[in-house]
């Protein structure tokens, strides 16, 4: 039996009435921006979801026993992938919008507010960040959780990802400053055994580290010892604060030690030497850019290193970084990178007669989807509308006031859209946003929890890691 619906809410009810593994959802009449190099853009196409998986894309797909969703006038694309966000900070959003430099952020947030966080504050912040990510079309989020003061802090962060239903990557690291139990990285074995026992699940685990010992000392700096921990656990590594001369030397040293590779992600990568980029390119190391963070906070050169990455043969992922000073959506990251790179390209060629080498809207959408998934080690799972991958997708309303008429679908996503245009988000085949509303969230209760957590942190209450 084919089940057509035009009201939206009735379709959601029909979908949820069925066991997850027996669902068939057919999206019809959409412009499919697949981000699969072999499939491209499909005009007025169909996409079939069976259970948690994309079963087929094309035209005239079988509607038997499917809930049919009419997507005429809409764009269907893969969910965005955030490769690096400090989710626990979400209740402190925009508390320092005009931060002058990295030191100002470090001393205010990491040496100050972070030290009084309780496990419940970790939970509230991480949940808020993940729900907001879903609202703006981010279906995969790497939470660089660098405030793991106790086992309970780590558990709370992981549980928040589980409770939101996002495809979460928990990247665990000890805190920079203040008292903590020193349970990290040894506790990662327990974390893996407790929460990450299957390779076929929504959550994955990574080890998080810093590039050098300049900020927080040698215990948090990536090197052979932490590489051995990750290797023994069979997990990837995400390295933050990779910028400048000291990081460049560290990258060359890691290459010599044989601890770079596709399972290692270097975050920011601003102000690195050509020798460092050569080592990264030769080893297949991945890169997570943070366009607004680099430019707004002024990290090293303050220029997102997209040209350097592409010259080294690396197509980077994109990330949000810190919401204490920055926007939390992927549209902002794509537009910022697109504008900065093209400005630099034209400026460098001005008066020379050379043709500027400019990236395109398709490039930045690729960075925000498929390359982000590859950066997180999940490109076989998500990042494109490829049959066989998990059904992580979004529906963008392209005929609303700010988008009409639909001319170029990729341009519409990158340059025209925002969270209000995203009517539907599926993660692993499960509806997480429908008819423009994030599902299963009591906003009034969440608002109270967020404010209470924020007030606790700003009042500086607490006498240590267990407070």
Q: Distance (Å, rounded) from C-alpha 195 to C-alpha 157?
A: 11
Cβ within 8 Å of residue 132, ≥6 positions away: 90, 328
Contact 74, 395 (CB under 8 A): yes
What is the pairing mode between strands 24-33 and 74-78? parallel
Instruction: Encode 88-112: b = buried (16+ Cβ within 10 Å), e = exposed.
Output: bbbbbbebeeebeebeebbebbbbe
Mean pLDDT, the chain, whole residue set: 95
- The model carries a pTM of 0.96
**Tell me: the pLDDT tens digits for 251-298?**
999 999 999 999 999 999 999 999 999 999 999 999 999 999 999 999
For residues 343-353, give the mean pLDDT.
Answer: 95
Domains annotated for the chain, with CATH where assigned, are: 3-79+383-435 (2.30.40.10), 80-375 (3.20.20.140)
Cβ within 8 Å of residue 282, ≥6 positions away: 255
Which pLDDT score is estimated for 6?
Answer: 46
**Tell me: the pLDDT tens digits for 128-138?**
999 999 999 99
For residues 66-91, give the mean pLDDT.
Answer: 97
Sheet holding 167-172, edge to edge: 80-85, 138-145, 167-172, 204-210, 236-243, 264-270, 286-289, 317-318
Name which of 99, 173, 161 is nearest 130 in CA terms.
161
- CA 126-53-190 angle, 5° bins: 40
- CA 76-135-160 angle, 5° bins: 125
Name which of 407, 459, 169, 411 is nearest 286 in CA terms.
169
For residues 34-52, give the mean pLDDT.
Answer: 97
Beta-carbon neighbour count of residue 405 at 10 Å?
A: 8
pLDDT at 201 over 50: yes
**Tell me: the pLDDT tens digits for 147-161?**
999 999 999 999 999
Q: Distance (Å, rounded) from C-alpha 23 to C-alpha 14?
A: 9
Name which of 203, 204, 123, 205 is nearest 165 in CA terms.
203
* Omega before residue 405 within 30° of 0, cis: yes
For residues 437-461, give the mean pLDDT.
Answer: 94
Which pLDDT score is estimated for 345?
Answer: 97
């Amino acid at each position: 039996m084919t089940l057509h619906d035009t009201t939206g809410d009735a379709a959601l009810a029909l979908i949820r009435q069925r066991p997850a593994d027996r669902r068939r959802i057919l999206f019809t009449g959409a412009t499919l921006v697949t981000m699969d190099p072999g499939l491209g853009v499909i005009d007025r196409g169909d996409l079939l979801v069976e259970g948690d998986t994309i079963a087929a894309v094309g035209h005239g797909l079988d509607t038997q026993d499917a809930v049919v969703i009419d997507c005429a006038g809409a764009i269907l694309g893969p969910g965005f992938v955030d490769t690096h966000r400090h989710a626990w900070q979400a209740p402190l959003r925009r508390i320092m919008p005009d931060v002058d430099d990295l030191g100002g952020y470090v001393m205010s947030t990491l040496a100050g507010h972070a030290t009084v966080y309780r496990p419940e504050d970790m939970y509230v912040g991480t949940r808020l960040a993940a729900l907001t990510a879903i609202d703006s079309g981010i279906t995969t989020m790497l939470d660089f959780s660098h405030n793991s003061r106790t086992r309970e802090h780590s558990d709370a962060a992981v549980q928040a990802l589980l409770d939101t239903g996002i495809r979460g990557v928990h990247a665990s690291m000890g805190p920079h400053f203040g008292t903590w139990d020193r349970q990290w990285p040894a506790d990662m074995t327990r974390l893996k055994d407790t929460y990450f026992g299957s390779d076929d699940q929504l959550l994955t685990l990574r080890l998080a580290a810093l590039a050098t010992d300049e900020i927080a000392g040698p215990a948090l700096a990536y090197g052979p010892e932490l590489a051995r921990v990750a290797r023994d656990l069979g997990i990837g590594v995400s390295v933050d604060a990779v910028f400048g001369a000291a990081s460049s030397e560290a990258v060359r040293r890691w290459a010599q030690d044989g601890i770079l590779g596709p399972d290692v992600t270097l975050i920011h990568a601003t102000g690195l030497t050509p020798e460092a980029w050569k080592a990264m390119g030769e080893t297949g190391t991945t890169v997570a850019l943070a366009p607004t963070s680099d430019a707004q906070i002024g990290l090293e050169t303050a220029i997102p290193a997209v040209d350097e990455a592409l010259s080294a043969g690396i197509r980077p992922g994109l990330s949000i970084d810190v919401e204490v000073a920055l926007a939390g959506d992927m549209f902002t990251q794509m537009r910022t990178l697109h504008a900065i790179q093209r400005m630099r390209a034209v400026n460098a060629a001005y008066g020379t007669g050379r043709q500027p080498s400019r990236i395109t809207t398709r490039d930045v959408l690729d960075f925000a989807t498929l390359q982000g998934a590859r950066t997180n080690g999940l490109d076989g799972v998500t990042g494109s509308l490829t049959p066989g991958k998990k059904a992580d997708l979004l529906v963008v309303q392209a005929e609303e006031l700010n988008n009409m008429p639909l001319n170029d679908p990729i341009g519409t996503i990158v340059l025209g859209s925002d969270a209000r245009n995203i009517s539907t988000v599926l993660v692993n085949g499960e509806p997480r946003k429908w008819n423009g509303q994030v599902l299963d969230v009591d906003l009034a209760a969440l608002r109270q929890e967020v404010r209470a957590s924020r007030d606790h942190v700003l009042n500086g209450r607490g006498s240590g890691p267990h407070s």
